[in-house]
């Protein structure tokens, strides 16, 4: 794909580095929680879920504020702040003497709202509406490539100790901040900025214009259910691998690397073509069907090798996010793209509060009874509900207005 603005490759590279930093710590997180909390793996799953809830709760409060700050002061300073906070977060986690310090690090990262809200706004600033679906798909590719490199490196660095991947992640986030400071252009000119408005700096205010136009409520509700279900991966994968398949940190790292490879291939070679040929509405349906089927398949996995064919089919679920984001961004005017992305970050944070609580409890509950697949079964049920909402609330409605591209 040809980039029409130099901010696009810079943002994609920033997301790649961030994804490497995120993925590099996942293989050792179960061992670190077990060590610091002095508990077994099942109970460590619950604790990790509470950590994710702490992160998401702060992101829920801060996400719309960051989006509106981006609309007021520009994207670059907000993105830079996010990267600096992540460097501090990983540094705290590397030095954490107790489980409480891990929670402090997650709270700091949550306050910044992560990188995806300002990054989405940058891409929306510089990309025509008809090309946003494909460009948002490249964000998934960057995340997928980071998940090839990050978990594989984390599994290897685990041999140096459970703290080594966190040190590496802190260094990567610091390098990322320097890169943004030196190379990132501002994409929101002063004439398109708007005053900061506290009434819009919350999840309800951020979605007020969206809910009033285009009948977006069913799509937002479906996105919420989808993201709750999708939290089964970050909340439980490393723990599920240990409980169901007796994987060590290296095996967990390689499985995550394979997942990242599959995701990157799908986003580069499938997403843009699928959206252009089928339209966002059909593409959302295909991605959700693939994701739900793979969630259900994981319930019945009993051998490690069975995971890998499912991983490559599940890469099609990467069609969901860019399609939903493109649909929603098409319904919102240019001056509110930052608010939109802040609102989407808050919807994601609601999912990240409910998702880890539900998924880790389901995993721990089932594992204590010899059935560790409960979290994936719950995820499959939620995706089925999201599909119903998309079909009746979005696809059928849009077909009555205009035909879906053939």
Domains in the chain: ranges and CATH: 7-182+202-401 (1.20.1250.20)
CB contact at 8 A, 194 and 72: yes
Q: Which pLDDT belongs to residue 333? A: 63
Q: Which of 166-180, 336-350, 360-374 has the lowest mean pLDDT?
A: 336-350
Rounded Cα gap, residues 85 and 353, in angstroms: 20
Span of 33-47, 296-310, 318-332, 350-364 with lowest mean pLDDT: 318-332
Backbone angles phi, psi at 399, to 5 degrees: -65, -30
Decide if pLDDT at 322 tops 90: no
Find the Cα–Cα–Cα–Cα dihedral 69, 71, 72, 76, rounded to 10°: 70
Answer whether 83's CB lies under 8 Å from 177's CB: yes
| Contact assessment for residue 359 and residue 235, using Cβ atoms and an 8 Å cutoff | yes
Task: Give the lowest-confidence range in 221-225, 228-232, 265-269.
Answer: 265-269
This prediction has a pTM of 0.74
DSSP letter string, 67-110: HHHHHHH-HHHHHHHHHHHHHHHHHHHHH-SSHHHHHHHHHHHH
pLDDT band (50, 70, 90) for residue 207: low
The b/e string for 92-109 (b: 16+ C-beta within 10 A; e otherwise) is bbbebeebeebbebbbbb
**93 vs 362, which has greater pLDDT?**
362
* Residue 7, token pair as written in the block: 């901010």
The pLDDT value given to residue 395: 61
Task: List CB contacts of 172: < 8 A, sequence separation 6 or more.
Answer: 17, 18, 20, 21, 24
């Amino acid at each position: 794909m040809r980039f029409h603005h130099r901010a696009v490759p810079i943002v994609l590279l920033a997301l790649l580095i961030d994804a490497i930093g995120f993925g590099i710590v996942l293989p050792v997180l179960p061992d670190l929680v077990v060590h610091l909390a002095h508990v077994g793996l099942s109970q460590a799953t619950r604790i990790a879920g509470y950590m994710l809830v702490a992160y998401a709760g702060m992101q829920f409060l801060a996400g719309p504020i960051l989006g509106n700050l981006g609309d007021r002061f520009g994207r670059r300073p907000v993105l830079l702040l996010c990267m600096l906070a992540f460097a501090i977060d990983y540094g705290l986690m590397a030095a954490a003497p107790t489980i409480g310090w891990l929670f402090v690090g997650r709270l700091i990262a949550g306050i910044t709202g992560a990188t995806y809200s300002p990054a989405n706004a940058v891409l929306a600033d510089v990309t025509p509406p008809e090309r946003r679906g494909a460009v948002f798909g490249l964000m998934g590719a960057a995340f997928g490539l980071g998940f090839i490199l990050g978990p594989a490196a984390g599994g290897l660095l685990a041999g140096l100790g459970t703290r080594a991947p966190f040190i590496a992640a802190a260094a990567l986030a610091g390098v990322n901040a320097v890169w943004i400071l030196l190379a990132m252009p501002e994409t929101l000119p002063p004439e398109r900025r708007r005053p900061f408005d506290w009434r819009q700096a919350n999840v309800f205010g951020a979605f007020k214009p969206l809910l009033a136009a285009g009948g977006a409520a069913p799509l937002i509700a479906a996105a919420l259910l989808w993201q709750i279900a999708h939290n089964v991966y970050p909340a439980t994968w490393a723990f599920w691998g240990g409980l169901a398949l007796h994987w060590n940190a290296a095996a967990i790292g390689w499985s995550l690397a394979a997942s990242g490879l599959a995701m990157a291939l799908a986003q580069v070679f499938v997403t843009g073509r699928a959206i252009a040929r089928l339209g966002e509405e059909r593409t959302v349906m295909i991605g959700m069907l693939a994701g739900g089927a793979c969630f259900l398949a994981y319930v019945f996995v009993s051998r490690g090798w069975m995971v890998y064919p499912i991983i490559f089919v599940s890469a099609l679920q990467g069609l969901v996010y860019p399609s939903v984001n493109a649909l929603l961004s098409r319904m919102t005017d240019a001056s509110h793209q930052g608010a939109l992305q802040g609102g989407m970050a808050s919807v994601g944070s609601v999912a990240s509060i409910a998702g880890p609580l539900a998924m880790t409890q389901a995993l721990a509950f089932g594992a204590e009874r010899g059935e560790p697949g409960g979290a994936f079964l719950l995820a499959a049920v939620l995706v089925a509900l999201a599909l119903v909402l998309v079909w009746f609330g979005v696809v059928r409605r849009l077909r009555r207005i205009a035909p879906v591209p053939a």
